[in-house]
Amino acid sequence: MKESEIRPPDLFNRYLELSRNDIDKFFSDKSNFVEICCPGCGSNNHEAGLTKSEFEYVICQICGSLFLSPRPTDAMINNYARESAATEFFATHFFKETAEARREHMFKPRAQLVGEWISRLDLEEPLEFVDIGCGYGIFLEEIANLNRFTCISGIEPAPSLAAVCREKGFSIVEKSAEEVAQDEMGASFATSFEVIEHVFDPVSFMSGIRRVLRPGGLLLLTTLTVTGFDIQVLWEHSKSVNPPQHINLLSVKGMEQLMARSGFQVVEVSTPGQLDVDIVGNFAKEDPNIELPRFVSQLVHEATDEAREAFQRFLQEQKMSSHIRIVARSI
């Protein structure tokens, strides 16, 4: 998989441009922004990290997570998600035009992984499944193809996307995870892909996921991690550091501590990302003036494809890729 297959540069750069333009409209008044403790470990011990588009990120001195603080309120973030031009562009253009590539490279392998975990842990039947932030329902379709679940549903707060999923025949709760009541679902397996980096309060979000799971239910969650290679190399230049969209970039340690604080027992942590080296190389092509560390410059400009692939595998094996995957049980 290449970055250009799931993030075509013309579409992705247009999305980032719209995000920057939206900032003045939605976040020009920062008087209501709120300071928060680390969303990973809960510590108040942090220092300045970086500033981007006039948003300030701090670094937790305990777990190393990078997060926006002060940050917009939950209401401001939700309003942005509903009304911004960037969000509309992502839904109507970006995601639609990359949907099939994402199905092949992301959603099908993830559905296969769900099937593997069912067999590996011998989950108690009947099996009920829920995807938190199910979007257009592509992943729900792939889960249905497994023929392992008696009930497949999704949680999607956006009315237009929830309607698309219902048209495909899926049961959808049109709320955020934080709003779902204790006895509303009771799934045996839940997934959440690239959602937690967007939410105002990750602890509240995780508590919501725990409520939709039955005791002992399994969660498969993926997100970005600040401790990964491409974010560490590019830092403030990284397109993954994208306020006000990505406001929680937790470390591997921070994600593990968030799970424990939210009532989950971690079963497995991995960083199976495939794009770190490709992302750094593509950025260097877009901006030849960026100063990369000498080793990184040699890797992306001079190394063979085999060497770059071997280095990406090394990042995966050492939990140093910028894409983290957590499997955890509700306790």
Q: What is the mean pLDDT of the chain?
A: 94
> What does each C-alpha distance from 232 to 118, 197, 241 come to in angstroms?
34, 17, 10
Q: Dig out the tokens for 158 from the structure.
A: 């956006």
Asked whether the predicted pLDDT for residue 264 surpasses 90, the reply is yes
* Span 74-106, pLDDT tens digits: 999 988 888 889 888 988 888 888 989 999 999
* Span 111-170, pLDDT tens digits: 999 999 999 988 877 899 999 999 899 999 999 999 999 999 999 988 888 988 999 999
- Where is average pLDDT lowest: 10-19, 60-69, 194-203, 221-230? 10-19
Asked whether the predicted pLDDT for residue 185 surpasses 80, the reply is no
Q: At a CB cut-off of 8 Å and minimum separation 6, what does 126 contact?
A: 150, 151, 188
| CA atoms of 36 and 220, how far apart (whole Å) | 26
Tell me if 215 sits within 8 A of 330, measured CB to CB. Answer: yes
Tell me if 330 sits within 8 A of 217, measured CB to CB. Answer: yes
| CA atoms of 317 and 217, how far apart (whole Å) | 27
pLDDT for 159: 85
pLDDT for 45: 97
| CA atoms of 122 and 62, how far apart (whole Å) | 36
pLDDT for 126: 83
Q: Does domain 3-330 have CATH number 3.40.50.150?
A: yes
Q: Dig out the tokens for 120 from the structure.
A: 């590996």
30-35 average pLDDT score: 94
Q: Tell me how crowded residue 105 is: count the other CB atoms within 10 A of its CB.
A: 16
| CA atoms of 260 and 319, how far apart (whole Å) | 19
| CA atoms of 146 and 245, how far apart (whole Å) | 32
Asked whether the predicted pLDDT for residue 62 surpasses 80, the reply is yes
pLDDT for 95: 84
Q: Quote the percentage of the chain above a pLDDT of 70.
A: 99
Which residue type occupies 331? Answer: I
176-193 average pLDDT score: 86
Give the start-end residues of each E strand in the chain: 46-52, 55-60, 66-68, 128-132, 151-155, 171-173, 187-193, 213-224, 248-249, 264-270, 323-330
pLDDT for 239: 94
Phi then psi for 165, rounded to 5 degrees?
-65, -40
Cβ density class 256-293: b for 16+ within 10 Å, e for less: bbbbebbbbebbebbbebbbbbbbbbbbbeeeeeeebe
pLDDT for 78: 87
Does this model's pTM top 0.75? My answer is: yes
Tell me if 191 sits within 8 A of 114, measured CB to CB. Answer: yes
